[in-house]
Structure 1
Amino acid sequence: MSNKQQFLIVAALFLGLGLLWFLKQDPALNYLNAALKADTELQAYPYQFRALKIDKGIATLTTPRSPEVSVLQFLKIAQPTLDTSNPDSPDMIAAQKALAHVQEKAGKLAKAQEGVTEVQWEIDRSWYASHGLIVE
């Protein structure tokens, strides 16, 4: 097989993979993620919400909140300067309210997208893993 034939085969494979990737793109999902990234308040928060999928009007968004991980564990990672030793302190209560507020805002942004009627939340295991915490 000549170099030219090998090059054509490799180029065809890459072209095929690129086409497959392009066809699997979901414009509504990309638009929702762009809307989440464009919001300055969400961008200023230490955790970035992302849309994973939109299926039958239900947008699945990532969240750091879950019964599997306490909010204290999240705040220790997201806001390392925050004193988490007293969960009832005014600073801790404010941090928890801020998390609830930005998650609610992300949900409202998702529901504002055409075709999205409901939001489902999924724990962001990869975010926790990137911070050294494995969530089962």
Structure 2
Amino acid sequence: MSNKQQLLIVIALCCGLALLWFLKQNPALNNLNAALQADATLQAYPYTFRTIKIEGDVATLTSPRSPQVSVLQFLQIAKPNLDTSNPDSPSMIAAQKELAQVQEQAADIAKAQPGIKSVQWEIDRSWYASHGIIVE
């Protein structure tokens, strides 16, 4: 096989992979993620909410909140300067309220997108894994 033939095969494979990637893109999902990333409040928060999937009129977004992981574990990672030794302290209560408000804002942004009526949350296992916590 000549070098020219090999080059044409490589170019054809690259074009095929690019086409496959393009066809698998979900414009609604990309638009929702762009809207989440464009929000100044969400940008300022130490956790990035993102869309995993859209099925019908339901968007599934990642969340650091779950019965599987204590909110204290999340806050220890997200806000390392926060004293988490007393969960009833005013600063801890404020941090938990802030998380709830930011997550609610992410849901509101999602529901403001065309065709999205509700939001489901899924624990962000990859985020926790990147911080050394395995979520079962």
Matching residue of 2:37: 37
SS class of match (1:128): helix
> Equivalents in 1 of 2:113, 2:119: separation in Å?
11
> Equivalents in 2 of 1:117, 1:6: separation in Å?
50
Matching residue of 1:96: 96
Deviation at 1:83, TM superposition (A): 0.2
User: Percent identical across equivalent pairs?
Assistant: 75
Q: Deviations over 1:27-65 (max 9, x none)?
A: 110000000000000000000100011111110000000
- Structure 1 segment 34-113 matched on structure 2, within 5 A: 34-113=34-113
> Equivalents in 2 of 1:41, 1:119: separation in Å?
19
Matching residue of 2:20: 20
SS class of match (1:135): coil
> Equivalents in 1 of 2:44, 2:34: separation in Å?
15
- Structure 1 segment 2-21 matched on structure 2, within 5 A: 2-21=2-21
Matching residue of 2:127: 127
> How many residue pairs get matched?
136
> Equivalents in 2 of 1:135, 1:81: separation in Å?
24
Deviation at 1:9, TM superposition (A): 0.5
Q: Which runs of 5+ in 1 are unaligned?
A: none
SS class of match (1:8): helix
> Equivalents in 2 of 1:3, 1:55: separation in Å?
46
Q: Which amino acid aligns with 1:30?
A: N
TM-score, normalised via structure 1 length: 0.99
TM-score, normalised via structure 2 length: 0.99
RMSD: 0.4
> Equivalents in 2 of 1:11, 1:135: separation in Å?
41
